């Protein structure tokens, strides 16, 4: 394979130095006609990548997997995972290849990974490819999440491949997504070794993770590592829930040890609020519904804790006791995070009126109210000079009298100016609504990438009023509602 003269991506790899059983060396597949869809210029600069080169034919060749830049060491990572509660001892990167790592401008190590770049030894029955739809979906949603302030993997680029992939819907255009992550180590990576009884590998991985993500942990303090990972998950899920985000596949292989949101499959933002809301077509039992996510994260972290038992203490009973003690702190920690987000959303400056959070959310659920629009209007109504915003808010509710009872109590509990400021920072004006993501994907399938670019750009400033994107704030009309989302794999 030809290589460019110099190294336009400043690789500095560490995962490849771990024992060979952690990964399999794997070259990406060649694709016939790679074309650039979009590059994330800000992120590229943050990673120290030459922008001009990245958009050049050589750069696009790298982004499609056709060219391996100097310093890259392409590999597929091994991992296992509990999927919908059932354990698979061997999953691994079946359609993703890690090119390598770079140190970004903030001195943080980042993985650069191609997703949809061909088969690996972990592909099982899959083709290792990605359809264009899931590539665009991950680009839009992960970048929106970043702008919303949610820890997440990022989108560096998206390309089309010039070949088709066969999916349920038929033959559709393929794409490659370039993902940037603080790392791709998952709870499932620990499970891969633990389930094989390979305690030495678990320890090597735990030390690697402490070094890379939690250097504040004392060396060898795996209870502290468990605490950090657990807290990062709790913070993440509380933030998701405050935005009405439903991940959709919270399997242990999709739970990043770094605490970033990873693996955007059938994820979605709710329009109408309901705690049981679920979109994923493969989540028939509603295991990963909006309101279940906190419990599921604890379930996943408990699986993580299990892998650490042999390295926490040589006495198994003692180790279990130590881990359980930590896990028992999850609920309080999560609740603190959750309440703190929702206090901000409702403009409550302290905890004395916390009951308004639950009663407010129950009203939304019972009267089928759009989550984002409600909080947007509530933010405006916090400091309502002429009564117009309160009137608009009231008009959303079928039972207006019932709503106004709650509203009065709320109004008495807040402090107009201070509350409004809080609320503005917690209540986005624009989110990646399902029907808009779907429209952008459908237009792209017809060759028109404009809706995708426009949506991506609008979502970069979710907390600011942007007159030119007012249409993107709107909830779907009945015909536009997307009721199910798909992995597309």
Active site positions, annotated: 253
Question: Which of residues 58 and 263 has its CB atom nearest to Mg ion in the complex?
Answer: 263
Partner that binds at residue 389, options Mg ion, ligand AMP, none, CB closer than 5 to 8 Å by kind: none
Q: For residues 53 and 427, what is the distance between their CA atoms, to the nearest angstrom?
A: 38
For position 127 contacting ligand AMP by CB under 6 A, the verdict is: yes
When binding is defined by CB under 6 A, the residue of 51, 327, 482, 487 that contacts ligand AMP is: 487
Radius of gyration of the chain (CA): 23
Partner that binds at residue 489, options Mg ion, ligand AMP, none, CB closer than 5 to 8 Å by kind: ligand AMP
For position 283 contacting Mg ion by CB under 5 A, the verdict is: no
Query: Which sign does the torsion angle of CA 376, 381, 383, 387 carry?
Result: positive
> Pairing state of beta strands 23-25 and 75-77?
antiparallel
When binding is defined by CB under 6 A, the residue of 9, 61, 77, 93 that contacts ligand AMP is: 93
Q: For residues 356 and 376, what is the distance between their CA atoms, to the nearest angstrom?
A: 17
| Closest separation in Å from C-beta 193 to ligand AMP | 16
Instruction: Choose one: 44-52, 249-257, 269-277, 316-324; the region binding ligand AMP (CB under 6 A).
Output: 249-257
Q: For residues 111 and 353, what is the distance between their CA atoms, to the nearest angstrom?
A: 43
Question: Which of residues 95 and 343 has its CB atom nearest to ligand AMP in the complex?
Answer: 95
For position 28 contacting ligand AMP by CB under 6 A, the verdict is: no
For position 280 contacting Mg ion by CB under 5 A, the verdict is: no
Contact 309, 278 (CB under 8 A): no
Partner that binds at residue 95, options ligand AMP, Mg ion, none, CB closer than 5 to 8 Å by kind: ligand AMP
When binding is defined by CB under 6 A, the residue of 254, 258, 292, 434 that contacts ligand AMP is: 254
Partner that binds at residue 343, options ligand AMP, Mg ion, none, CB closer than 5 to 8 Å by kind: none
Partner that binds at residue 92, options Mg ion, ligand AMP, none, CB closer than 5 to 8 Å by kind: ligand AMP
Measured in degrees and rounded to the nearest 5, phi and psi for residue 171 equal: -90, 120
Residues 6+ apart with CB under 8 A from 128: 29, 94, 95, 116, 117, 118, 119, 120
Which residue reads 């209540």 in tokens?
427
For position 254 contacting Mg ion by CB under 5 A, the verdict is: yes
Question: Which of residues 66 and 254 has its CB atom nearest to ligand AMP in the complex?
Answer: 254
For position 263 contacting Mg ion by CB under 5 A, the verdict is: yes
Q: For residues 188 and 57, what is the distance between their CA atoms, to the nearest angstrom?
A: 36
Query: Which sign does the torsion angle of CA 238, 239, 245, 249 carry?
Result: negative
| Closest separation in Å from C-beta 281 to ligand AMP | 12
Structure tokens of 478? 């009945």
Structure tokens of 223? 């209870």
Which residue reads 């939690």 in tokens?
214
Contact 87, 102 (CB under 8 A): no
Question: Which of residues 288 and 449 has its CB atom nearest to Mg ion in the complex?
Answer: 288
Partner that binds at residue 360, options ligand AMP, Mg ion, none, CB closer than 5 to 8 Å by kind: none
Partner that binds at residue 59, options ligand AMP, Mg ion, none, CB closer than 5 to 8 Å by kind: none
Q: Give the residue closest to Mg ion by C-beta.
A: 263
For position 92 contacting ligand AMP by CB under 6 A, the verdict is: yes
For position 476 contacting ligand AMP by CB under 6 A, the verdict is: no
For position 281 contacting ligand AMP by CB under 6 A, the verdict is: no
* Distance set, CA 213 to CA 58, 147, 234, 300 (Å): 32, 22, 16, 19
For position 64 contacting Mg ion by CB under 5 A, the verdict is: no
Count, residues near ligand AMP per rule CB under 6 A: 18
Query: Which sign does the torsion angle of CA 476, 138, 212, 21 carry?
Result: positive
Partner that binds at residue 266, options ligand AMP, Mg ion, none, CB closer than 5 to 8 Å by kind: none
Collapsing DSSP states into helix, strand and coil, what is residue 178? strand
Instruction: Report the DSSP beta bridge partners of residue 113.
Output: 98, 179
For position 341 contacting ligand AMP by CB under 6 A, the verdict is: no
* 433-455: b (≥16 Cβ within 10 Å) or e: bbbbbbbbbebbeeeebebbebb
For position 85 contacting ligand AMP by CB under 6 A, the verdict is: no
| Closest separation in Å from C-beta 249 to Mg ion | 7
When binding is defined by CB under 6 A, the residue of 123, 295, 411, 439 that contacts ligand AMP is: 123
When binding is defined by CB under 6 A, the residue of 133, 265, 347, 428 that contacts ligand AMP is: 265
| Closest separation in Å from C-beta 94 to Mg ion | 9
Partner that binds at residue 212, options Mg ion, ligand AMP, none, CB closer than 5 to 8 Å by kind: none
Q: For residues 267 and 416, what is the distance between their CA atoms, to the nearest angstrom?
A: 35
Helices (H), 171-221: 187-194, 199-213
CA atoms within 13 A on the CB side of 188: 25
For position 266 contacting ligand AMP by CB under 6 A, the verdict is: no
Contact 191, 82 (CB under 8 A): yes
For position 91 contacting ligand AMP by CB under 6 A, the verdict is: yes
For position 128 contacting ligand AMP by CB under 6 A, the verdict is: yes
Instruction: Report the DSSP beta bridge partners of residue 181.
Output: 111
CA dihedral 272, 277, 282, 286 (to 10 degrees): -170
For position 95 contacting ligand AMP by CB under 6 A, the verdict is: yes
**Footprint of Mg ion (CB under 5 A):** 254, 263
| Binding residues for ligand AMP (CB under 6 A) | 91-95, 122-123, 126-129, 249, 253-254, 263, 265, 487, 489
């Amino acid at each position: 394979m030809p290589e460019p003269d110099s190294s336009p991506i400043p690789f500095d790899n560490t995962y490849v130095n771990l024992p060979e059983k952690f990964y399999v060396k794997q070259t990406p597949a060649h694709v016939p006609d790679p074309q650039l869809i979009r590059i994330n210029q800000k992120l590229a600069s943050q990673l120290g990548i030459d922008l001009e080169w990245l958009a050049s034919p050589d750069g696009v060749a790298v982004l499609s997997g056709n060219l391996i830049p100097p310093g890259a060491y392409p590999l597929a990572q091994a991992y296992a995972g509990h999927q919908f509660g059932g354990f698979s001892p061997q999953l691994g990167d079946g359609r993703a290849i890690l090119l390598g790592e770079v140190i970004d401008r903030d001195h943080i190590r980042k993985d650069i990974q191609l997703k949809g770049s061909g088969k690996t030894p972990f592909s099982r029955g899959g083709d290792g490819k990605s359809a264009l739809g899931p590539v665009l979906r991950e680009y839009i949603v992960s970048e929106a999440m970043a702008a919303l302030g949610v820890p997440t993997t990022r989108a560096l680029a998206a390309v089309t491949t010039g070949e088709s992939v066969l999916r349920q819907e038929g033959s559709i255009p393929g794409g490659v997504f370039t993902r940037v992550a603080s790392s791709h180590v998952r709870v499932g990576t620990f499970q891969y070794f633990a389930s094989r009884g390979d305690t030495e590998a678990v320890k090597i991985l735990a030390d690697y993770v402490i070094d890379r993500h939690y250097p504040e942990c004392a060396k060898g303090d795996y209870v502290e590592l468990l605490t950090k990972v657990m807290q990062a998950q709790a913070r993440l899920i509380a933030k998701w829930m405050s935005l009405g985000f439903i991940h959709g596949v919270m399997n242990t292989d999709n739970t990043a040890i770094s605490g970033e949101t990873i693996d955007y499959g059938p994820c979605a933002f709710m329009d109408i609020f309901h705690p049981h809301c679920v979109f994923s077509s493969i989540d028939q039992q509603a295991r990963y519904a909006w309101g279940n996510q906190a419990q599921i994260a604890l379930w996943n972290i408990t699986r993580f804790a299990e892998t650490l038992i042999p390295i926490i203490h040589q006495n198994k009973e003692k180790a279990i006791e130590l881990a359980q003690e930590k896990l028992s702190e999850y609920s309080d920690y999560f609740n603190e995070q959750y309440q703190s987000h929702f206090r901000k959303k409702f403009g409550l400056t302290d905890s004395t009126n916390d009951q308004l959070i639950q009663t407010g959310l129950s009203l939304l659920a019972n009267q089928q109210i759009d989550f984002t629009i409600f909080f947007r209007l509530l933010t405006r109504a916090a400091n309502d000079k002429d009564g117009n915003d309160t009137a608009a808010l009231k008009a959303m509710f079928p039972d207006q009298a019932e709503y106004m009872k709650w509203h009065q109590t709320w109004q008495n509990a807040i402090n107009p100016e201070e509350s409004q400021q809080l609320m503005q920072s917690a209540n986005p004006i624009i989110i990646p609504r399902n029907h808009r993501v779907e429209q952008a994907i459908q237009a792209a399938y017809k060759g028109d990438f404009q809706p995708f670019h426009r949506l991506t750009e609008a979502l970069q400033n979710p907390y600011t009023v942007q007159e030119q994107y007012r249409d993107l704030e709107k909830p779907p009309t009945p015909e536009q509602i997307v009721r199910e989302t798909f992995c597309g794999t």
